[in-house]
Amino acid sequence: MNTTASVAPTASHNQPIQPGLDLLLVVAVLLLLGLGLVMVYSASIAIAESKFGEGNSHYFLVRQVLYILAGIAVGNACFRIPLRWWQTYSHYLLGFGILLLVVVLVPGISHEINGSRRWLSLVIFNFQPSELMKLFILIFTADYVVRKAAFKDHFFKGFLPILALLTVVSLLLLMEPDLGATVVIAAIVLSVMFMNGMNWKMFLGLVCLVPVLIALLIIIEPYRMDRINAIFDPWNDPFNKGYQLTHALIAFGLGEWWGVGLGNSVEKLNYLPEAHTDFMFAVLAEELGFAGVVAVISLFFLLLVRIFKVGRMAAKLGNQFGSLVAQGIGVWLGLQAFINMGVNMGLLPTKGLTLPFMSYGGSSIVINCIAIAILLRIDWENRLKRRGVHV
């Protein structure tokens, strides 16, 4: 990210101040993007040739490169925006996000894939509004709890409005349907409220209520219950309900300690569905083995450690909004990575959630880069404040 933007310092000199950035955080993100690009290409060769013919094996690679470049460009622009701007316009951003969730449900406008209406066609690529909503609802919730800090123990003035908002957003997502995004967004909202000192009785009530609601959503949709059953015995129906999971587990088994070698995966040869998106981690496990899995998990661990460090520093410097946004980004990326890995390993039911920074997809790559850019802006402003510079 470009750090040359100048800020009027309180000190006597008038030179632009360049406080630097968290290099470990930046390196972790770049390594995840780079490794993801390599694995997207490896995992997508067979499907690209089967869909678009021989000679088009680079189809998904080229598009992923463009997504990453777009994410870096947009992220660089967002880094230049002061954090106070995001806080000031958080309610407008949320309104825009809700509007997109409504538009995506309109037949003829949205792009339907596998029976789900989650995408808007932007000609160049399909945009997924739920990815943008993760960011916007995080920013709004952080601003809301800071503004309503005096009412954090008050049910009607503090808790009920944000609960109503979460309900509306969740219903729109479930109409797509997109239970995975609903779970992630609910976790983001609740974690931000908890980190701001939410009344423990209300939080405990929610902790007990959320699993019940998720169980009801699973029960009323037979396909969701089938996915739950497939976790316990995927081999009971390996050619239908347990097809994805059995092939993902086969990929993990073939990988053993060091993998079968980059590019040598068997499961990516049109056996494992969504090999370059939702199940790319299984292909990585097959080609790079246990060592590759540990490397990816370690990179995410490093990323989360640095993210929460930025959040803690913001809190120490009195920037509660920045602290909540930073830690909310950590919860979001960490939870989504955990769910994707858990699905690939057969620990969680199959859900359409990408692995942040690594899976193929324009929406997730660009929005993840924007989130990191905002995080780096928080870190940059932290460093300025520590030097006594007014931001």
The predicted model scores a pTM of: 0.90
Asked if pLDDT for residue 3 goes beyond 50, the answer is no
Q: How many domains, in total, are found in the chain?
A: 1
Distance CA 315, CA 142 (A): 13
Identify the residue whose tokens are 């990988």: 255
Secondary-structure percent of the chain, ordered helix, strand, coil, rounded to 5: 70, 5, 30
At 176-211, the pLDDT tens digits run 888 889 999 999 999 998 888 777 777 787 777 777
Domain presence at residue 193: yes
Answer yes or no: is 10 within a domain: no
Mean pLDDT over the full length of the chain: 87
In this predicted structure, the answer to whether residue 230 has a pLDDT above a threshold of 90 is: no
Mean pLDDT of 17-25: 79
Cα separation, 268 vs 248, whole angstroms? 10
Return the SS3 of 48: helix
Residue 274 lies in a domain: yes
* pLDDT of res. 150: 64
Q: Is residue 184 included in any domain, yes or no?
A: yes
Query: Which tens digit of pLDDT belongs to each residue from 175-184?
Result: 888 888 999 9
Range of the domain at 312: 23-380
Where residue 74 falls (left for φ over 0; alpha for ψ -120 to 50; beta otherwise) is: alpha
Mean pLDDT of 26-35: 96
- In this prediction, residue 12 has a pLDDT band, given cuts at 50, 70 and 90, of very low
> How far is residue 277's CA from residue 270's CA, in Å, rounded to a whole number?
13
Tell me the per-residue pLDDT of 283-311, one tens digit each, with 9 for 90 and over. 999 999 999 999 999 999 999 999 999 99
Identify the band that residue 18 occupies on the pLDDT scale cut at 50, 70 and 90: low
Contact criterion met (CB below 8 Å) for 5 and 80: yes
Residue 4 lies in a domain: no
